[in-house]
Structure 1
Amino acid sequence: MEARLETEVCVIGGGPAGAALALRLARLGHAVCVVERHAFPRSHVGESLTPGVWPLLDALGVVDEVRRGGFLPALESLVCWEEPTGRRVRGRAGEPGLLVDRGRFDALLLGAAASAGVRVLQPAVAQRPERTADGWELPVLHEGRRLVVSARFLADASGRTACLGGRKQMVSARTLALYGYWRGDTPHGPETRVEAGPDGWYWGAHLPDGTFNAMAFVDPELLRERGIGRRTLESFYRELLGRSSLLEAWTAPRLVGSVLACDATCYRDTVPIERDRIKVGEASFSIDPLSSSGVQKALQTALSGAVAVHTLLARPEHAEAALRFYTEDQRSSAEQHAAWAAGYYRDARSYQERPFWKRRALAPAAVAPLEVRPPLSEDGLSHRRWRLASDAALVDTPCIVGDVIELRRAVSHPRLGRPVAYLEGVELAPLVDWLGQVPGEGLTMPQLADSWARRMPFRRSVAIMGWLYRQGLLTEVTADGPR
């Protein structure tokens, strides 16, 4: 008789996105099973984590485990980008970024999920899932036998392969990453290295196991033009690195193992969530590796995805809000990262006419640029009269409220990337409602802030008023009317 496993949520893929989603859903009270193809620890590229990862690790409750993981702090970078000469860039004050062994890091997250009660099938091969009247059935090959996992909800965290399929929309030029691991006699400094070149860019970093990962990001067309195949990949990779200063991180550098290649093209899935399934991590969208934020974004999609899934399962009356929230969140993130990356590609002025750089500097800005406004502290400015801008409006938008997603009124404006419902923990809608009733002659900034004193501390009202002013949501009223 065929073995069966019943669960509420089945997650395909146990990388950072899958493990984080499973961990969070388990803590929200759901029965969760993870199906992971590989035994851990596994080799995986993507070892650089920005400081922005710490709040996400804290939300997952794994900060202490990561601190004890023996990973290296990323304190300084040697950057050759805007100009040919390099400059040293130190991280901001506070927690540094990390250079991790992805094998150990991924195992740590999946272990935390298992400790929270998640059933982990590993190594196990997920086959083609099928929808049923009650959810999904997923055939799995595990420990030499066939097992059918029955689940109410299915999550695809299988990475770029995206076992649930779907249509991916490219948001960057096609990019190929070539990489290898190096050792040498003497390391020259622990800094991460980032460098622009005529036909691509380079990244290199020392890793916890004593190796140095050197990567080159190029157009796939360059390999086709040169007729590069498996047999000539290593020589081409060495040629690329020879045009950079990456290997100056070592005395007598020598390659350890084979040269590898992986797709680094940016894309987003056009339908990342439905009522009975979701895609997280790179199954949903991929960002430019220039940001070194791939793992961070994977964790963010998992955390926002967990709230969306929890809402669909526990509060189905808010299903439309959950679907819209996750879809808009993914689209906004992909667009913002594409615009950010395009700006940095434009900054490589030495190569701006080269095809590689031209293709990547074309992404449109995600948000219209703000006009430069003088600070509120400027003499006389705070005593001018103001009212709500005519193009500001309140719209219903999905928001996280506790552990579920509900519709809330939010302020919308052409200069905002997306509607904003809360600021500094304060709901904006009642404040904007009141601003819309300010008389035509307007009020001064102190008068506006003082009118909110019953709702919140005066300092907080001043801070919110300042934000509205900087975002262009307040219009000055003059003798000739608003301007």
Structure 2
Amino acid sequence: MEARLETEVCVIGGGPAGAALALRLARLGHEVCVVERHAFPRPHVGESLTPGVWPLLDALGVVESVRRGGFLPALEALVRWEDASGRRVHGRSGAIGLLVDRGRFDALLLGAAASAGVRVLQPAVAQRPERTSSGWALPVLHEGRRLLVSARFLADASGRTSCLGGRKLPVSARTLALYGYWRGETPHGPETRVEAGPDAWYWGAHLPDGTFNAMAFVDPELLRERGIGRRTLKSFYRELLGRSGLLEAWTAPRLVSGVLACDATCYRDAVPIEEDCIKVGEASFSIDPLSSSGVQKALQTALSGAVAVHTLLSRRGNAEAALRYYTEDQRYSVEQHAAWAAGYYRESRDYQERPFWKRRALAQTAPVSAEVRPPVAEDELLHRRWRLASEAALVDTPCIVGDVIELRRALSHPRLGRPVAYLDGIELAPLVERLGEASTEGLTMPQLADTWARQVPLRQGVAIMGWLYRQGLLTEVAASGLR
């Protein structure tokens, strides 16, 4: 007889996104089961974590466990990008990234989820899920037997393969990552290395186990043009690295692994969330490895996804807001990152006319507008008269409020990448309304201080006014009328 398991949420995939989603949902009071194909620890690429990961680890309650994990701090990078001369980039004080063993890091996160009450089936192979009248039915092969998992909600954290399928929209030129692990006689410095080449870019870092991961990112078409297959992949990889300075990190470097290839193309899923399922991590979208923030983005999708799922399961009246929030958050993240990556590819001056670089320097999405005015001294703002720019408006926008998603009025303007509901924890709508009521006469800062006094102290009000000014959201009113 087929065994059965019933749960409220089933998460397919126990990597960082799946483990973080399961952990957060369990702490929000949901019954969660994770189905993970591989036994942990297992090798996995993506060992570099940026400093932005720390607030996310703190939100998950695993900072101290990670600090005790024996991972390496990423203190410095040797960058050869704008031209052939290298420069050393140091992390800001207090902003230190990590180089981790992904097998141990992922096991740590999944272990935290299990400690929070998540049921983990591992190793277990999830087969094709099917919708039912009450949710989902997921056949699973676990410990040599067939198990049918019934769940009200399904979360796809299975990575690029995405067990739920769907339409993937490319947002970058197709890219292939070739990598292998090296050792040598003497390591030359602990720094991470990043380098541009004529038809590729390179990344390398020393890892906690004493190996060095050396990666080359190339166009797949280059392999086809050269007729590179499995038998010739290693020699081609060595040839690529020979054109770079990555292996200068060692005396007498030797390859101690096979050469692996994986897709590094950026994309987003066209439908990342529905009322009974969600895609997180690389099942939702993939960003350019240039940023070394793939794990960070995976954790971010898991945390925002957990709030969306919690809303869908506990506040049915807010379902539309939850779906809209997660969808818009995905699109905004992809657009922001695509614009950043394109700008960084344009900085490689020596190779900007090469096809590899030209294709990647063309962002498919527009960047968010930067601040459009220089800062103004507080005393200048205090005595001028202002009104809200004519194109600014307050619109209903889905926002995270506590542990759920609700509609809140937010400030919208063409110069803003997305509507802004809160600034430094202060709700903008009540403040902006007074500016909107100023009509042609405008208001001085002292007048605004009187009207904003119940919401914010004077200095915080001045700071908000400064932000509105720099974003071009204010129109100055001259003494004789509008200017």
TM class by shorter chain equals: over 0.9
- Matched pairs, number: 483
Query: Whole-Å Cα distance in 1 between the matches of residues 79 and 139 of structure 2?
Result: 48
1:478 CA drift (Å): 2.6
Question: Is 2:155 aligned against 1:159?
Answer: no
Q: Deviations over 1:342-374 (max 9, x none)?
A: 000011111110001000111155345346423
Please tell me whether the aligned partners of residues 155 and 280 of structure 2 are also in contact (alpha carbons under 8 angstroms). Answer: yes
Query: Whole-Å Cα distance in 1 between the matches of residues 176 and 367 of structure 2?
Result: 28
Please tell me whether the aligned partners of residues 383 and 445 of structure 1 are also in contact (alpha carbons under 8 angstroms). Answer: yes
Q: Deviations over 1:261-292 (max 9, x none)?
A: 00000000010000000000000000000000
**Aligned residue number for residue 216 of structure 1:** 216
**Aligned residue number for residue 112 of structure 2:** 112
Q: Deviations over 1:90-127 (max 9, x none)?
A: 01111410000000000000000000000000000000
Question: Is 2:454 aligned against 1:426?
Answer: no
**Aligned residue number for residue 285 of structure 1:** 285
The one-letter code matched in structure 2 to 1:292 is S
1:245 CA drift (Å): 0.5
Q: Deviations over 1:183-224 (max 9, x none)?
A: 000000000000011101000000000000000000000000
SS of corresponding position for 1:344: helix
Please tell me whether the aligned partners of residues 33 and 121 of structure 1 are also in contact (alpha carbons under 8 angstroms). Answer: yes
Query: Whole-Å Cα distance in 2 between the matches of residues 482 and 375 of structure 1?
Result: 22
1:466 CA drift (Å): 1.0
**Aligned residue number for residue 267 of structure 2:** 267
Please tell me whether the aligned partners of residues 37 and 124 of structure 1 are also in contact (alpha carbons under 8 angstroms). Answer: yes
**Aligned residue number for residue 414 of structure 1:** 414
**Aligned residue number for residue 91 of structure 1:** 91
Please tell me whether the aligned partners of residues 434 and 451 of structure 2 are also in contact (alpha carbons under 8 angstroms). Answer: no
Please tell me whether the aligned partners of residues 79 and 87 of structure 2 are also in contact (alpha carbons under 8 angstroms). Answer: yes
Question: Is 2:139 aligned against 1:139?
Answer: yes
**Aligned residue number for residue 203 of structure 1:** 203
Trace 1:376-455 onto structure 2 (pairs within 5 A): 376-377=376-377, 380=380, 382-455=382-455
1:415 CA drift (Å): 0.9
Please tell me whether the aligned partners of residues 74 and 192 of structure 1 are also in contact (alpha carbons under 8 angstroms). Answer: yes
**Aligned residue number for residue 38 of structure 1:** 38
Gaps of 5+ in 2: none
Query: Whole-Å Cα distance in 1 between the matches of residues 152 and 381 of structure 2?
Result: 58
The one-letter code matched in structure 1 to 2:434 is W
Gaps of 5+ in 1: none
Please tell me whether the aligned partners of residues 422 and 428 of structure 2 are also in contact (alpha carbons under 8 angstroms). Answer: yes
1:441 CA drift (Å): 2.4
SS of corresponding position for 1:34: strand
After superposition, the Cα gap between the structure-2 partners of 1:415 and 1:364, relative to the gap in structure 1 and judged at 3 Å, is farther
Question: Is 2:103 aligned against 1:103?
Answer: yes
Trace 1:470-481 onto structure 2 (pairs within 5 A): 470-478=470-478, 481=481
Query: Whole-Å Cα distance in 2 between the matches of residues 84 and 446 of structure 1?
Result: 55
Please tell me whether the aligned partners of residues 14 and 34 of structure 1 are also in contact (alpha carbons under 8 angstroms). Answer: yes
Query: Whole-Å Cα distance in 2 between the matches of residues 4 and 391 of structure 1?
Result: 57
Query: Whole-Å Cα distance in 2 between the matches of residues 99 and 445 of structure 1?
Result: 48
Please tell me whether the aligned partners of residues 34 and 120 of structure 1 are also in contact (alpha carbons under 8 angstroms). Answer: yes
Trace 1:14-413 onto structure 2 (pairs within 5 A): 14-364=14-364, 366-370=366-370, 372-377=372-377, 380=380, 382-413=382-413
SS of corresponding position for 2:231: helix
Identity %: 86
SS of corresponding position for 1:141: strand
Please tell me whether the aligned partners of residues 159 and 283 of structure 2 are also in contact (alpha carbons under 8 angstroms). Answer: yes
Moved more, 360-369 or 221-230: 360-369
Query: Whole-Å Cα distance in 1 between the matches of residues 211 and 302 of structure 2?
Result: 30
Query: Whole-Å Cα distance in 2 between the matches of residues 319 and 461 of structure 1?
Result: 34
Please tell me whether the aligned partners of residues 318 and 406 of structure 2 are also in contact (alpha carbons under 8 angstroms). Answer: yes
The one-letter code matched in structure 2 to 1:269 is D
The one-letter code matched in structure 1 to 2:77 is S
Please tell me whether the aligned partners of residues 206 and 212 of structure 2 are also in contact (alpha carbons under 8 angstroms). Answer: yes
Query: Whole-Å Cα distance in 2 between the matches of residues 5 and 482 of structure 1?
Result: 69
